[in-house]
Amino acid sequence: MNITSKKLTASFVAVGLIAAGVLGTSLSASAAGEPDFYLLDAGDGHLLADDQVLAWEDQVISSPGKTIPDLDIPFPGTADATGATLFISPVGQETTIANWSATGDSSLVPGTVGIQSPNLTLSGFTKGNWAGVKAGGTYSLGFAWTKNNGLNLADAGVLFTTIVVQPGGAGNWTFADQSGPVVEPPAHCDEIPTPDDCLKGDIDLEATTVGAEDGALSLEVPAGAKATFGTATLVNHLSTSTAELPEFSVVDERIVSRPGWTLTADVADFTSGSSTFGAEHLGLAPTLVTDAHGAELAAAQTAGSGVYPADFAAADAGKGIGETTFSADLTLVAPVDAPAGTYTSKLTLTLIGD
């Protein structure tokens, strides 16, 4: 592979081009030859394919060769190197430590200045603004030889490639292939190193709209809706049973005027043949299943002292637009003198537009 190195300063040299899944780089101006830089899967050591979409947690390592035996070969450093650091930086800021976006831990091979199989898994960059990187953008991914306790770069410099982290927060990413760095246009001109390269053009937009109109207010109760009480038991010596009201909805499409609405419930007497007792023995506690825009439930009626018709729910002016779905918890406590039997009644809901 013949890749021309770019000398960033008198002592820092780095190139970020990949060829066939390969990062071509030069370690220093005096290095013999140009060692390659490959991205490999850390699980089984296979060479990652060009244009492969990688997840934030996918285990990625780098090597000067593209096969498993090459993982034993370290990237050679320079004599002044005392440490190593993984980095993700804005494009063009690879040699400015203070401008790195996120970093991860790495180390030199004991007793040498080489770096062996550095782990470039993005989820391992736990220092700095890793969340900003994960949110998406174009960055340089690589590693650096350091000195002075990591405060400065050693003469060996940095190795890196361009990556593109897809927007959306999942952290999926791709790396540059043999056609050159993959560079997505930034969202804003102030996100690129040279704003003069960001060219703008205006396009006028014109649209004609029509005025919004009120729709209807409606009460939607399922056909044949019925609440059947469960088996009665004696509570304080009185027959007590419970049920749940089938779900029903208030639909308010009066999106312009938004005057609000009131919903009430009335209950007929309970009868079984010639036996009858009053609706006050039904307890009713309204419940909200889904709320469109701020409907409020009325207070519950207590079995034995219920007063009907009773407020069920209401929406003040400006609220209750859209569909609001309700139900209710029912409790029936039969009076002491009611004969045993199966009793029926009817609950009637009334919706009034304010």
Residues 140 and 247 in one domain: no
Q: Render pLDDT for 47-66 as a digit per residue (tens, 0 to 9).
A: 888 778 999 999 999 888 77
Average pLDDT of the chain is 84
- Residue 259's closest CA among 348, 170, 354? 354
Q: Is 229 domain-assigned? A: yes
| Residue 92: inside a domain | yes
The reply to whether 312 and 253 lie within a common domain is yes
Q: Which residue has the higher pLDDT, 329 or 294?
A: 329
Residues 284 and 142 in one domain: no
pLDDT at position 28, please?
32
Max Cα–Cα distance, the chain, nearest Å: 109
Q: Answer whether residue 30 shows pLDDT above 80.
A: no
* Residue 206 covered by a domain: no
- Residue 323: which of 268, 266, 254, 269 has the closest Cα? 254
Indicate the pTM of the whole model: 0.46
Domain encompassing residue 300: 217-353
Does residue 76 share a domain with residue 175?
yes
Considering its fold, how many domains does the chain have in total? 2
Contact 316, 260 (CB under 8 A): yes
Q: Is residue 5 part of a domain?
A: no
How does DSSP assign 248-287, residue by residue? EEEEE--TTT---EEEEEEEPPEEETTEEE-GGGEEEEEE
Q: Are 315 and 296 in contact (CB under 8 A)?
A: yes
Q: Give the residue, 26 or 172, on which the prediction is more confident.
A: 172
Res 306 pLDDT > 80 = yes
Q: How far apart are CA 127 and CA 121, in angstroms?
A: 13
Question: Residues 178, 277: one domain?
Answer: no
Which of 188, 206, 231 lies at the terminal end of a domain, its last residue? 188
Residues 166 and 250 both lie in one domain: no
- Distance in angstroms (rounded) separating the CA atoms of residues 140 and 94: 7
pLDDT digits (tens, 9 = 90+) for 166-224: 998 899 999 875 333 333 444 555 555 555 556 678 899 999 999 999 999 999 999 99
